[in-house]
Chains A and B, each alone.
Chain A
Amino acid sequence: MSQEIKLSTPFQEEDVLKLRTGDKVLLSGRIYAARDAAHKRLLQDLDQGMEAPFNLQGAVLYYVGPTPAPPGRVIGSAGPTTSSRMDAYTPRMHVLGIKATIGKGRRSEEVRRVLREQKAVYLGATGGAGALLSRCITGSRVLAYQDLDTEAIRELEVQDFPLLVVNDAYGGELYATARL
């Protein structure tokens, strides 16, 4: 039976292990916004021996490129982008300590295997619900790669951010057509 679980970041291994595909998660705490360009640059920087702009251990990544914050708001529209574009980088991110990623759409076979090996999860947010999801974001600041604008790495403060467990650490798969 799927359940509704409240979780806070950073994740411990036991947080991940209690999640099953289909569970609803209300996430609070700090998460890190990074999409295509930020992943590429972050891994290049790490290769050069530079330090990551945030602690990767137990961290949760959110694949998002928000719209600019209008006056009086901390962030603009901020829904998930398609996760599969990050598949090339994700296995390494999990090996580095990332415990969960948030996005939309399916992941590659390799990512799903790494989730089992590294005991991590992939969480889905509702795509195209950017205005709705922005209400759960209470803080936002750019941590790195300001020049990438919407693709910069941001630290986001979230409160009861609504998610579904798509791929758990046990090989579970939520999408009806995942194997097509």
Chain B
Amino acid sequence: MRSIDVREVTGQVARMVVEANIGLPRDVFAALRKARENEDNPSGREILGQLLENARLAREMNLPLCQDTGLAVFFVEMGQECRLRGDLYQAINDGVSQGYAQGYLRKSVCNPLSRKNTGDNTPASIHLDLVPGDRLKIRFMPKGGGSENMSGLAMLTPSHGLEGVKEFVLQRVAVAGPNPCPPGIIGIGIGGSFDQAPLLAKKALFRSLDDIHQDQEVRDLEAELFESVNSLGIGPMGMGGKTPCLGLKIETAPCHIASLPVAVNIQCHAARHKEVSL
């Protein structure tokens, strides 16, 4: 059985939280560039230009792309044939604590009642899945509060059907308008239970923008909703125009015969993520 010392996890996490906050992923940069080429609204085009320049400057100045360096969200896939020496949750949190300090990242986590800041951006939100194999895959996303606040869940019922799902998604994106720093990415979770749908929506945000869903039905729905969301005319930072989002991704899971949960998780244009496989 393969064995991994969790100290290695801490080191990798400390490194990836900093890198993710400074470097905009290539697919997102390309999507922003394409959006600027296609945007007719002059204000919108100027804003997209600022975002591309911001991404370039962040790398050059070694500064975070955005001051909101997020709540640290992790999706960890652990191979069943991998044995860990040490406490994985502690190791990830230690990596977050070290990385956020060393990388001059903002500490944005507080007690929900007293609002007292925890001081080191921990605890992270860690989702752990057991998978076949002997690898340990760690995916990280710093999730900003502004776009997270614009997200939502609806416990629809079967009579609402697919139309109800589409209506809810459009309503969420329209209500969010300029607030979540568009053009971002819309993650959608359909099905599962009250707890699963938002998790599916968040997982969808980890997919690369050029990733194609295996299920044709999901693929078609993604294309249709992407089109509808575009027609809302929100534009970059809500200035109007045809670039409200860079991508729309859907994940589904079977649900109860009485239910149709749908969750929309909105991601700003600073769609940062990093992945490491140990």
Contact = CB atoms under 8 A, between A and B. Distances in A.
A135 B58 CA distance: 11
Contacts, number: 153
A118 interface: no
B25 interface: no
B177 interface: yes
A97 interface: no
Residue of A162, A164, A176 with most partner-chain B CB within 10 A = A176
Contacts of B269: 128
Most buried by B among A68, A73, A105: A105
B58 A128 contact: no
Contacts of B64: 67, 76-77, 130-131
A104 interface: yes
B179 A69 contact: no
B158 to A, nearest CB: 28
Nearest to A81: B146
Say what secondary structure dominates the interface of chain A.
Answer: loop
B11 interface: no
Contacts of B43: 22, 164
Interface residues of B, number: 47
Interface in B172-199: 174-175, 177-181
A67 B67 contact: yes
Specify the main secondary structure of chain B where it touches its partner: loop
A82 B233 contact: no
A44 B66 CA distance: 30
B232 A177 contact: yes
B247 to A, nearest CB: 16
B111 to A, nearest CB: 12
Given A82-B149, A134-B63, A105 B178 contact: yes
Interface in A86-119: 104-106
A58 interface: no
A175 B239 contact: yes
A149 B107 CA distance: 9
Given A77-B66, A178-B177, 8 more contacts: A81-B67, A105-B177, A106-B177, A128-B65, A128-B66, A135-B57, A149-B117, A150-B67
29 contacts: A65-B67, A66-B67, A67-B63, A67-B64, A67-B67, A67-B106, A79-B67, A81-B68, A82-B180, A104-B146, A105-B178, A105-B179, A105-B180, A127-B268, A128-B54, A128-B269, A129-B53, A130-B63, A132-B53, A149-B117, A164-B239, A174-B239, A175-B178, A175-B240, A176-B234, A176-B235, A177-B177, A177-B232, A177-B233
